[in-house]
Amino acid sequence: MNKKMLEILNEQINKEMYSAHLYLSMSAYLASKNLPGFANYMRVQYQEEMSHALKFFDYLLERGEKAVLAEVAAVKTEWKDPIDVFEDTYKHEKFITESIDEVLEVAHEVKDYATINMLQWYIKEQVEEEAHASSVLEQLKMVEGKGTGLFMLDREMQARVFVD
Ligand code: OFO
């Protein structure tokens, strides 16, 4: 595999792991605020991000390459409220979408057609990731992030399960 391609794919593994840590940290914060449903939502999101990292990891293996794991930067541990959490989530997902687009640009540049093909899964996934984050954020804003509305939303979030 082209060196630049391999480097940016390894960087993306790190970003997916960072995303996982960020969401698990959000889960801890939400649990500390007595919002078990939202904490569950973020715990599932953590599992999804680890599966995104592993998909890249396995792809490198399949291509006869070795994944190189780097230090994962420290994540935030406190937020103002659940709206703040989901504003950060939506912002982070948009950043990840841009990042996947950059990986795709490199794949085009070095004419790595297998990687272009593999990345289609992530392109589609990012549309869903942004839509989910934005939808929860809008619902939270509708109930102004408090009261009975927040309680009802928290119960809904309890239903989310991890599907690989
Ligand atoms: Fe949230 O999609 Fe991966 O990072």
Average pLDDT over residues 143-156: 93
CA of residue 148 to ligand 1 center, whole Å? 30
Closest approach atom of ligand 1 to CA 20: 4
Cβ < 6 A, ligand 1 pocket: 16, 19, 49, 52, 93, 96, 129
Pocket test residue of 49, 51, 94, 164 for ligand 1, highest count of atoms within 8 A of CB: 49
The 3 state secondary structure assigned to the chain is CCHHHHHHHHHHHHHHHHHHHHHHHHHHHHHHCCCHHHHHHHHHHHHHHHHHHHHHHHHHHHCCCCCCCCCCCCCCCCCCCHHHHHHHHHHHHHHHHHHHHHHHHHHHHCCCHHHHHHHHHHHHHHHHHHHHHHHHHHHHHHCCCCHHHHHHHHHHHCCCCCCC
Q: What pLDDT score does 163 carry? A: 82
Average pLDDT over residues 50-71: 97
ipTM of the complex: 0.94
Q: What is the pLDDT of residues 68-127, one digit of tens each?
A: 999 999 999 999 999 999 999 999 999 999 999 999 999 999 999 999 999 999 999 999
